[in-house]
């Protein structure tokens, strides 16, 4: 046992057992190893929960984080700061933290006052923009970085510009297991006298097990007694989304290949002691991963360090470990090569045992006790580095330094207004008004909200079911012969018109584009893509500028996923040009607008130009959008400095007095959305302030000082009249508030997680 006089308490942040994932296993093993080697050191744990209620954690877990709840990350930072932690050890993987590319963890790290040592379980060679930004800030915020392979150190330097001096190379830890003959363990599993091949770990398609199965017929011809054991339960995320479809497909494949008598699936998450007995019984460990960009594999480390002969595809971790006769590398997706390598090793027992001994010998440097010592050495260095840098963080913040408080996302009224057909248009006070029926406009907005909430990680089974209902409404509303959406439907499910408005077409395309652009929708995404493709050409024929704007927003979402769609790009260019021409025809120095009247959902017009200008890299389009939005903001600001939308009781015609009332929630929502888009395009915090001003209109910062949002029901009142607030809480108003709240929450998450503006 070791002593580390400079460190009294290390907190471990990451997934933790009994949550079933590789990071949880690693964090648990590392924490236990450090606590075992340094018994005077306190080692509390702060895990991240991916489900409500968390897990039955052991006593060392002191504080829990809800994966998608940004405030819980900030509360965790407060906990770590006030409990006198010396070092925080972070286990980083993109998929375990909330926010885009796991960005919520940055908000926590930025608040900490102690050194941070971050283990990077994934280092991507080609990150997307969000992943690169998260990694950039992880590199900045971490006092030291730990990688488990030389390739990871190279990528940190080359891709993320990490200083070489702050990167430590520490191997993946393994249990300390004696070198033993596999035959010693085979009796326990009923495979005595057989040649045992093993793959273990959480089951998912990227493991390449189907290629190992395809290799079996050739192996069995030479060694009929071969048994291939696939050990491990289906990955929880895959199980949640697709059930056991992948495992069943592997079982069917084994039967189709005629090797079912030689294959065993153990569908469970095994504890360490039992796992090591499985590893001990294996003659050859197979790891046929499908891509090279696997910087760390805990399963490979365990099998290798225990002295298994390994046949692997050349992903990065394997390519480094399995050199100098310590294993056999085969090409990706090559069943014949797997078969050839396995047969050669089973034939050549001396070579197989040489590989085992070479691997076991190197594995002595990977046992957990040794790894724990290396980590504590890194912790000590982090303490020295941190003291030298003199990093400070004030525990007290002024109001200006704190994120603005937002209302809770309450969906009670949304659900109250929805049935198995869709969302009702109107309400009598807080009760759905059946006589007014449904409309496509509102069901499209409701579908947009459901997709936004899913992106935020705010969801439930009930919301997912409602999203399917809203999508079904759009599918039913679509007239495939005309390529148009019908809009109004009576309570008894009769369409009240043959063709809906152009704005209805635009709303539907906005929602469908968002469905296509958002990953993880499966068949839901396929339906949206089909409808979008069939409905999009009609948008080119529309004459309504607002229909153009809604369509452009939908096209942008669609192209994020399917950027190669030439027709969608052409329609974006065409509609953008039409909006620009409208502005050129109508605008003057005093009237910087697209029409002779400022009427309804006004901010969507500049919003569409800002978005298209940014995505098309067209400075003139972007500047026109920003210029018109600045003018609209000026028009919509009262003398008292509050947001005052154009009243729907007359609107605002050039040269005439503007209508002050009836002010509609949809105008506030459109302005919030446009200002947030302006911030994303420019990085200028002025737009954040304008978005906040417009949002606060819902909360009472308006001409009457009365709130339109009803915190009791979760609904929003229909409008602000000259002397009162409407008491009806219809779909359009409620959705306007919830959409604005969702966008403000996403913006606040970004501002809290990232210190620098988007544009930097």
pLDDT score at 186: 87
The residue written with tokens 């990232």 in the block is 754
> pLDDT class for 758, splitting at 50, 70, 90?
very low
Residue with more model confidence, 293 or 151: 151
Per-residue pLDDT reduced to its tens digit, 98-125: 998 999 999 999 999 999 999 999 999 9
Helix-helix angle 545-561:523-539, to 10 degrees: 140
Residue 214, pLDDT > 90, answer: yes
Name which of 259, 261, 280, 287 is nearest 199 in CA terms: 287
Other beta carbons less than 10 A from residue 562's beta carbon: 14
Interval 229-233 mean pLDDT: 92
Q: Mapped to the 3 state alphabet, what secondary structure does 75-96 carry?
A: HHHHHHHHCCCCEEEEEECHHH
The secondary structure of 485-549, three-state, reads ECCEECCCCCECCCCCCHHHHHHHHHHHHHHHHCCCCCHHHHHHHHHHHHHHHHHCCCCCHHHHH
Is the separation of the CB atoms in 326 and 283 below 8 Å?
Answer: no
Listed range (28-37, 277-286, 583-592, 725-734) with the worst mean pLDDT: 277-286
Q: What is the pTM of this model?
A: 0.82
Mean local confidence (pLDDT), 453-461: 86
Look at residues 92, 99, 91, 45 and name the one whose alpha carbon lies nearest to residue 67: 99
Residue 484 has pLDDT above 90, yes or no: yes
pLDDT given for residue 405 in this prediction: 82
Per-position DSSP letters for 332-397, written without gaps between them: TT-HHHHHHHHHHHHH-HHHHHHHHHHHHHHHGGGBHHHHHHHHHHHHHHHHHHHHHHT----S--
Nearest to 101 by CA among 89, 110, 91, 93: 93
Work out whether strand 226-231 and strand 195-200 pair parallel, antiparallel, or are unpaired.
parallel
Euclidean distance between CA atoms 627 and 593, whole angstroms? 9
Q: Are 17 and 24 in contact (CB under 8 A)?
A: yes
Question: What number is the average pLDDT over the span 642-664?
Answer: 96
Minimal CA–CA distance to 213: which of 174, 253, 183, 180? Answer: 253
- Report the C-alpha gap between 327 and 338 in whole angstroms: 13
pLDDT at 261 (0 to 100): 95
The residue among 246 and 519 whose pLDDT is bigger is: 246
Contact 174, 367 (CB under 8 A): yes
Structural domains of the chain ordered from first start? 10-173+369-399 (3.40.50.2000), 183-364 (3.40.50.2000), 412-752 (1.50.10.10)
Helices (H) and strands (E) in the chain, counts: 27, 23
The first and second tokens of residue 182, run together, are 């596999």
> From the CB of residue 408, how many other CB atoms can be counted at a distance below 10 Å?
7
Query: What pLDDT does residue 98 have?
Result: 93
Average pLDDT, the chain: 93
Q: Is the pLDDT of residue 169 over 50?
A: yes
Angstrom distance (rounded) from CA 508 to CA 501: 11
Q: Across 93-171, where does the E strand assignment appear?
A: 116-120, 144-147, 167-169
Pair 560, 590: CB distance under 8 Å? no
pLDDT of residue 690: 98
Q: What is the pLDDT of residue 412?
A: 97
pLDDT on residue 461: 87
pLDDT of res. 2:
56
- pLDDT at position 342, please? 97
Q: What is the mean pLDDT of residues 663-684?
A: 97
Termini Cα distance of the chain:
47
Express each pLDDT in 624-649 by its tens digit: 999 999 999 999 999 999 999 999 99
Structure-derived torsion over alpha carbons of residues 561, 241, 120, 135, reported in degrees to the nearest 10: 30
SS3 call for 55: coil
Q: Residue 182, class by beta-carbon neighbours within 10 Å (0-12 exposed, 13-18 middle, 19+ buried)?
A: buried
Nearest Cα neighbor of 274 from 371, 177, 202, 194 is 177
pLDDT at position 520 is 60
Q: Write down the pLDDT at residue 221.
A: 96
Cβ(594)–Cβ(602) under 8 Å? no
Q: In what order do the strands lie in the sheet with 167-169?
A: 65-66, 45-49, 10-14, 87-92, 116-120, 144-147, 167-169
d(CA 671, CA 600) in angstroms, rounded, equals 11
Query: Do the strands 484-485 and 427-428 form a parallel or antiparallel pair, or are they unpaired?
Result: unpaired
Query: Do 478 and 507 form a contact (C-beta atoms < 8 A)?
Result: no
The percentage of the chain sitting over the pLDDT mark of 90, rounded to a whole number, equals 81
- The C-alpha angle with vertex 449 and arms to 689 and 524, in degrees rounded to 5, equals 140
> pLDDT tens digits, residue range 59-89?
999 999 999 999 999 999 999 999 999 999 9
**Cα Rg, the chain, nearest whole Å:** 30
> Which tens digit of pLDDT belongs to each residue from 351-379?
999 999 999 999 899 999 999 999 999 99
Write down the residue that tokens 């389009």 correspond to.
621
| pLDDT > 70 in the chain, percent | 96
Identify the H or E element spanning 65: strand 65-66
For residue 367, the cross-strand partners are 174
Sign of CA dihedral 358, 362, 364, 368: negative
Checking if the pLDDT of 523 tops 80, the result is no
């Amino acid at each position: 046992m070791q002593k580390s006089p400079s460190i009294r308490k290390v907190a471990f942040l990451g997934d933790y057992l009994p949550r079933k994932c590789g990071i949880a296993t690693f964090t648990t093993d590392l924490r236990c190893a450090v606590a075992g080697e340094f018994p005077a050191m306190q080692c509390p744990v702060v895990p991240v929960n991916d489900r409500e209620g968390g897990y039955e954690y052991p006593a060392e877990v002191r504080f829990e984080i809800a994966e998608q709840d940004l405030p819980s990350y900030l509360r965790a930072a407060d906990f770590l700061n006030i409990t006198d932690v010396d070092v925080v050890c972070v286990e980083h993987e993109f998929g375990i933290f909330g926010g885009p590319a796991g960005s919520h963890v940055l908000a926590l790290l930025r608040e900490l006052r102690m050194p941070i040592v971050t283990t990077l379980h994934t280092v991507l060679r080609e990150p997307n923009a969000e992943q690169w930004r998260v990694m950039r800030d992880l590199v900045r915020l971490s006092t030291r970085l730990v990688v488990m392979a030389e390739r990871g150190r190279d990528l940190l330097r080359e891709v993320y510009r990490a200083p070489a001096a702050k990167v430590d190379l520490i191997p993946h830890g393994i249990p300390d297991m004696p070198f033993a003959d596999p035959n010693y363990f085979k009796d326990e599993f009923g495979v005595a006298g057989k040649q045992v091949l093993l793959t273990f770990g959480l089951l998912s398609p990227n493991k390449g097990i189907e290629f190992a199965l395809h290799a079996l017929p050739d192996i069995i011809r030479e060694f009929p007694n071969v048994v291939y054991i696939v050990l491990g339960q289906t990955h929880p995320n895959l199980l949640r989304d697709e059930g056991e479809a992948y495992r069943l497909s592997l079982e069917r494949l084994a039967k189709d290949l005629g090797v079912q008598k030689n294959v065993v699936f153990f569908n469970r998450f095994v504890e360490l002691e039992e796992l090591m007995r499985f590893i001990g019984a294996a003659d050859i460990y197979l790891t046929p991963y499908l891509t090279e960009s696997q910087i760390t594999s805990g399963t490979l480390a365990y099998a290798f360090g225990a002295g298994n002969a390994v046949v692997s595809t050349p992903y990065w971790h394997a390519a480094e470990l399995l050199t100098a006769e310590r294993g056999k590398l085969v090409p990706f997706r090559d069943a014949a090569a797997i078969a050839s390598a396995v047969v050669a090793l089973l034939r050549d027992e001396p070579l197989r045992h040489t590989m085992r001994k070479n691997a076991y010998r190197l594995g002595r440097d990977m046992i957990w006790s040794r790894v724990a010592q290396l980590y504590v050495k890194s912790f000590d260095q982090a303490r020295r580095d941190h003291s030298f840098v003199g990093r400070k963080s004030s525990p007290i913040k002024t109001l200006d330094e704190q994120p603005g408080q937002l209302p809770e996302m309450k969906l009670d009224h949304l659900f109250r207004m929805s049935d198995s057909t869709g969302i009702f248009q109107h309400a009598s006070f807080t009760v759905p008004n059946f006589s007014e029926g449904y409309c496509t406009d509102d069901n499209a907005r409701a579908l947009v909200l459901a997709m936004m909430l899913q992106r935020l990680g705010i969801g439930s089974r009930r919301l997912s079911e409602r999203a399917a209902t809203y999508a079904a409404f759009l599918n039913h509303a679509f007239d495939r012969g005309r390529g148009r959406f019908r809009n109004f439907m009576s309570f008894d499910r009769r369409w009240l018109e043959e063709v809906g408005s152009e704005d209805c077409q635009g709303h539907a395309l906005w929602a469908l584009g968002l469905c296509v652009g958002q990953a993880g929708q499966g068949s839901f995404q396929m339906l949206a893509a089909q409808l979008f493709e069939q409905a999009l050409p009609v948008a080119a024929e529309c004459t309504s500028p607002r229909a153009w704007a809604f369509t452009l927003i939908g096209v942008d979402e669609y192209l994020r996923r399917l950027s190669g769609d030439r027709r969608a790009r052409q329609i974006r260019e065409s509609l953008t040009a039409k909006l620009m021409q409208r502005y050129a025809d109508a605008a003057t120095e005093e009237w910087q607008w697209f029409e002779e009247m400022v009427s309804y959902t006004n901010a969507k017009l500049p919003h569409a130009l800002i978005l298209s200008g940014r995505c098309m890299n067209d400075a003139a389009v972007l500047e026109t959008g920003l210029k018109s939005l600045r003018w609209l903001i000026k028009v919509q600001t009262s003398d008292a400095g509050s947001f005052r939308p154009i009243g729907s009781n007359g609107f605002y015609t050039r040269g005439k007095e503007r209508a002050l009332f009836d002010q509609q929630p949809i105008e506030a929502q459109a302005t919030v959305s446009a200002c947030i888009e302006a911030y994303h395009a420019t990085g200028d915090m002025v737009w954040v302030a304008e978005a906040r001003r417009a949002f606060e209109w819902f909360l009472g910062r308006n001409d009457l000082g009365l709130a339109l949002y009803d915190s009791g029901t979760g609904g929003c009142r229909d409008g602000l009249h000259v002397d009162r607030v409407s008491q009806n809480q219809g779909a359009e108003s409620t959705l306007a508030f919830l959409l604005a709240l969702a966008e403000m929450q996403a913006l606040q998450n970004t501002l809290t997680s990232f210190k620098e503006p988007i544009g930097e």
